[in-house]
Amino acid sequence: MTEFIPPGTRFHALPSPFAMKRGGELQGARLAYETWGRLNATADNAILILTGLSPDAHAASHPDNPEPGWWEGMLGPGKPIDTDHWFVVCVNSLGSCKGSTGPASPMPGTQTPYRLAFPDLSVEDIANAAHTLVDSLGIRRLDTLIGCSMGGMAAIAYLLLHPGSARRHINVSGSPRALPFSIAIRSLQREAIRLDPNWAQGQYSDEVYPESGMRMARKLGVVTYRSALEWSGRFGRIRLDEKRQEEDPFGLEFEVESYLEGHARRFVRRFDPNSYLYLSRSMDWFDVAEYAPGGCDDDQRASAALSSIRLEQAMSIGVETDILFPLQQQEEIADGLRAGGCDARFVPLPSPQGHDAFLVDIERFGAAIGSFLGGR
Amino acid sequence: MTEFIPPGTRFHALPSPFAMKRGGELQGARLAYETWGRLNATADNAILILTGLSPDAHAASHPDNPEPGWWEGMLGPGKPIDTDHWFVVCVNSLGSCKGSTGPASPMPGTQTPYRLAFPDLSVEDIANAAHTLVDSLGIRRLDTLIGCSMGGMAAIAYLLLHPGSARRHINVSGSPRALPFSIAIRSLQREAIRLDPNWAQGQYSDEVYPESGMRMARKLGVVTYRSALEWSGRFGRIRLDEKRQEEDPFGLEFEVESYLEGHARRFVRRFDPNSYLYLSRSMDWFDVAEYAPGGCDDDQRASAALSSIRLEQAMSIGVETDILFPLQQQEEIADGLRAGGCDARFVPLPSPQGHDAFLVDIERFGAAIGSFLGGR
């Protein structure tokens, strides 16, 4: 099956075997990553970025790949994450399909993709794999670990599983545990893919591909990545041309439907469906409360686990209009870290763009992140 | 195809032909309805209830059908809508499949269902059909017109198209026009049905029925009918038995997934898929701004239309956690009616149950509705 690897991607060989949290191990697995800026002599200017579900490691342009990246406005010389000062690493998550080993990768010594033979994937595996990369780059301690969305979960796992591995932390629209509304949405997305006859229990090919399932999953994603407020202002009740409506009864009629269709079209066939299922489920499974010290009450476990993390400084940032990783979850992260003695700020932003705001509202997010990092 | 008609349902023959808003007409069509209480001699104690998308006319039990109805706690002797005092009529919407004529009904003089040959259905058609029923019952003016959810749209249409037809109005979790978030959700629900190969361009049968599409549509509905807040408290991260998880990779694992599955199972095969498509689309189309007097600015049209409605008293009620018909829309209705000189109150409730709260939080909704109707 096609892999989707941007030019200029680097690769890091994971220790082999690489043990997975829920059992099983990977042989000869790798991570795709990209870097910006230069690691200084004392190796104390490093920033690691852990991504959301779908991005590759190409967060921003660089000489080996001048194409704009998914966080182009945030990362580069003179930008909020100033690569004239910081050495920045962005990693494609383990289990993804953008160069890192995942369900679409060939099983060792074969041409056959893992598909559903890939072991259960946890957010913790994504974190552990990224930690081996950081280690291999000669970085004993990150200046700042940044995690966005799913990457915000992975960052919490990273800090818990590798104490002392970062001096500071920025959690962007993240969550300390999956809540039932988000689980329900992701469950429906997975069901849409699995219901597509072309999914064929994971045995699809490029020719027979679960396109309608992936389109539905992506559209449902986009609905929850943005916000009703933004869409009311942006689309209102604008209609498409009458002609397009007449082609198909119950076909697209409103601008908002066409917007979803465009998003879906740009996504399908650029992401491996099995990889999507694995990554999606890893988020449902994540619960920081698993790391609570013994003897906690049930409703204290998440907070106790977060407060066991040792950091100098942290910022947990998100937006009011996020329905997928709601703002209270970012507040919970900040509160938990602060209870552990860290100088942790909670930064709620009024961006109307919902969960995706960190990708679009660079003005607000950039100001907060730039200021946290030291205004360079 | 199966129709789903509760026992004790009455029928009203629509004028034939019955002209539809967007063109076409129905011959020999009918409405299913139920009544409670007695119309008094001056015929001024009547209440009409217009329903949401899926309910039948069986809002509450009565001697001909002792089964509890969908608003059992609200309606009956001594209840908030006190049938010892009021004569209450609830109508199954035109286009539905619970006894009223819709896409699953046979075309006149045949055994063949309309399917997609049913003319375009508008919320206004639902309102006009209900008005002919009220008229046939000898009610010149309703004391109170109540519309819930989709029925809140239909009630606004009813009041606009039939001036003077009601003295008072209660709009329950309604909307003066479909906004893009709701349109997007409904569009995905319709797409899920249409993508099911068994839908077959509407030519399914009881044997070959688009069950997976209907299940997906219903689950997505339930996600938007409730609220993240309610689910966090109710389901948290509760898991099903390990055994059920192992049967199917990516199968149900969390309690919230099982809850959605249960809702879907109880819905499919009890609702006609084509009828669902028609009713769903009618909501996308509804926009009170179409009824604005000439010369209004675009952003004043909805308000101007609402203020052209003449009522003595009105209440627009909803909940903070509703993401499908958000509370601002209920406020917009109250503000618009008030601008027309009506004593209109806006009643925001803190119920955690989202859009469905009016069906479940009878304590709060019942108190408000009972008090509005006069505390009987």
- Residue-wise pLDDT for A156-168, tens only, equals 999 999 999 999 9
Kindly state whether residues A240 and A255 are assigned to the same domain: yes
Kindly state whether residues B147 and B35 are assigned to the same domain: yes
Q: Which residues of A are annotated as a binding site?
A: 218, 356
Kindly state whether residues A194 and A250 are assigned to the same domain: yes
- DSSP label at residue B141: S
Neighbouring residues of A248: CB distance < 8 A, sequence distance ≥ 6: none
Q: How many residues does chain B have?
A: 376
| CA B183 from centre of chain | 16
ipTM over 0.85? The verdict is yes
In a domain, B77, yes or no: yes
Which is higher by pLDDT, A111 or A296? A111
Interface of A with B in 185-244 (CB under 8 A): 185, 187-188, 190-192, 194-195, 197, 212, 216, 219-220, 223, 227-228, 231-232, 234-237
pLDDT number for residue A375: 53
Identify the domain boundary among B281, B305, B322.
B281
Kindly state whether residues B43 and B135 are assigned to the same domain: yes
Looking at beta carbons, which residues of chain B come within 8 Å of A182? 228
How many domains is chain B partitioned into structurally?
Answer: 2
- DSSP label at residue B13: E
- Measured in angstroms, the CA of A226 and the nearest CA of chain B are apart by 9
Q: What angle do CA B62, B68, B69 make, to 5 degrees?
A: 85
The CA distance from A92 to A96, in Å, is 7
CATH of the domain at A210: 1.10.1740.110
A259 — phi, psi (to 5°)?
-60, -45
Kindly state whether residues A45 and A158 are assigned to the same domain: yes
Chain B interface disruption, residue of A211, A220, A247, A281, most B CBs within 10 A: A220
Identify the domain boundary among A231, A255, A281.
A281
Residues of A taking part in catalysis: 149, 322, 355
Kindly state whether residues B294 and B244 are assigned to the same domain: no
Task: Find the CB nearest B257 among A187, A192, A255.
Answer: A187
In a domain, B2, yes or no: no
Kindly state whether residues A21 and A167 are assigned to the same domain: yes
* Residues spanned by the domain of A291: 10-178+287-373
Task: Find the CB nearest B284 among A182, A194, A254.
Answer: A254
Looking at residues A267-282, what average pLDDT do you find? 96
**Average pLDDT score, chain A:** 95
A183 to B256: CB separation less than 8 angstroms, yes or no: yes
In a domain, A265, yes or no: yes
In a domain, A356, yes or no: yes
Dump pLDDT digits (tens) for A285-295.
999 999 999 88
In a domain, A1, yes or no: no
Written as tens digits, the pLDDT of chain B (376 aa) is: 556 788 889 999 999 999 999 999 999 999 999 999 999 999 999 999 999 999 999 999 999 999 999 999 999 999 999 999 999 999 999 999 999 999 999 999 999 999 999 999 999 999 999 999 999 999 999 999 999 999 999 999 999 999 999 999 999 999 999 999 999 999 999 999 999 999 999 999 999 999 999 999 999 999 999 999 899 999 999 999 865 556 678 999 999 999 999 999 999 999 999 999 999 999 999 999 999 998 888 789 999 999 999 999 999 999 999 999 999 999 999 999 999 999 999 999 999 999 999 999 999 999 999 999 995 4
Number of CB atoms found within 10 A of residue B162's CB: 18
B237 to A177: CB separation less than 8 angstroms, yes or no: yes
Identify the domain boundary among B250, B281, B312.
B281
Chain A interface disruption, residue of B116, B118, B175, B181, most A CBs within 10 A: B181
Q: Least CA distance to B290: which residue of chain A?
A: A237
Residue A246 has pLDDT above 70, yes or no: no
CB burial of residue B200 (10 Å; 0-12, 13-18, 19+): middle
In a domain, B24, yes or no: yes
CATH of the domain at B156: 3.40.50.1820
Tell me which H or E stretch contains B146: strand B142-148
Kindly state whether residues A168 and A311 are assigned to the same domain: yes
Tell me which H or E stretch contains B365: helix B362-373
Neighbouring residues of A229: CB distance < 8 A, sequence distance ≥ 6: A321, A352
Which tokens go with B359?
Answer: 């069906």
CB burial of residue B345 (10 Å; 0-12, 13-18, 19+): middle
pLDDT number for residue B2: 59
pLDDT number for residue B7: 84
Kindly state whether residues B28 and B102 are assigned to the same domain: yes
- For residues B269 and B141, the answer to whether their CB atoms sit within 8 Å is no
Q: How many residues does chain A have?
A: 376
- For residues A16 and A59, the answer to whether their CB atoms sit within 8 Å is no
Task: Find the CB nearest A281 among B227, B250, B281.
Answer: B250
Task: Write down the H helix ranges in B70-149.
Answer: 123-136
| Residue A62: strand pairing partners | A65
pLDDT number for residue A376: 43
Three-state DSSP class for B211?
Answer: helix
Least trusted range by pLDDT, from A210-224, A236-250, B173-187: A236-250
pLDDT level of residue A332 (50, 70, 90 thresholds): very high
In a domain, A208, yes or no: yes
Kindly state whether residues A193 and A101 are assigned to the same domain: no
Task: Find the CB nearest B194 among A232, A250, A277.
Answer: A250
Q: Which residues of A are annotated as a binding site for substrate?
A: 218, 356
Percentage above 90 pLDDT, chain A: 92
B223 to A190: CB separation less than 8 angstroms, yes or no: no
Kindly state whether residues B210 and B231 are assigned to the same domain: yes
Number of CB atoms found within 10 A of residue A224's CB: 20
Dump pLDDT digits (tens) for A136-156.
999 999 999 999 999 999 999
- For residues A34 and A9, the answer to whether their CB atoms sit within 8 Å is yes
Dump pLDDT digits (tens) for A1-48.
556 788 889 999 999 999 999 999 999 999 999 999 999 999 999 999
Residue A11, chain B, CB below 8 Å: the answer is: no
Kindly state whether residues A37 and A119 are assigned to the same domain: yes
Residue A301 has pLDDT above 60, yes or no: yes
Interface of A with B in 92-121 (CB under 8 A): 116
Q: Least CA distance to A229: which residue of chain B?
A: B181
Q: Least CA distance to A289: which residue of chain B?
A: B237
A220 to B257: CB separation less than 8 angstroms, yes or no: no
In order of A278, B154, B192, the CA distances from A224 in angstroms are 19, 28, 17
- For residues A134 and A142, the answer to whether their CB atoms sit within 8 Å is yes
Task: Find the CB nearest B254 among A183, A192, A237.
Answer: A183
Number of CB atoms found within 10 A of residue B211's CB: 16
Residue A287, chain B, CB below 8 Å: the answer is: yes
- For residues A175 and A182, the answer to whether their CB atoms sit within 8 Å is yes
In a domain, A4, yes or no: no
